[in-house]
Amino acid sequence: MDTPDQPQIYLITPPEIELSSFSRDLATVLDAHEIACVRLALATREEDRLSRAGDALREITHSRDVALVIADHLILAERLGLDGVHLSDAARSVRNARKALGDDAIVGSFCGHSRHDGMTAGEAGADYVSFGPVRPSTLGDGSYAESDLFQWWSEMIEVPVVAEGDLDAATVRTLAPFTDFFGIGEEIWAADDPKAALAALIREMG
Kindly state the percentage of the chain with pLDDT values over 90: 93
All structural domains of the chain, each given as residue ranges with its CATH number in brackets, are: 8-203 (3.20.20.70)
DSSP, collapsed to helix, strand or coil, labels residue 162 as strand
What integer pLDDT is reported at residue 4 of this predicted model? 47
pLDDT tens-place string over residues 166-178: 999 999 999 999 9
Residue 139: Cβ within 10 Å count: 11
Q: For the ranges 84-88, 135-139, 148-152, 194-198, which has the lowest average pLDDT?
A: 135-139
Alpha helices in the chain, H assignment, sequence order: 19-32, 47-62, 74-79, 94-101, 115-124, 147-156, 169-175, 186-189, 194-203
pTM (predicted TM-score): 0.95
pLDDT number for residue 1: 30
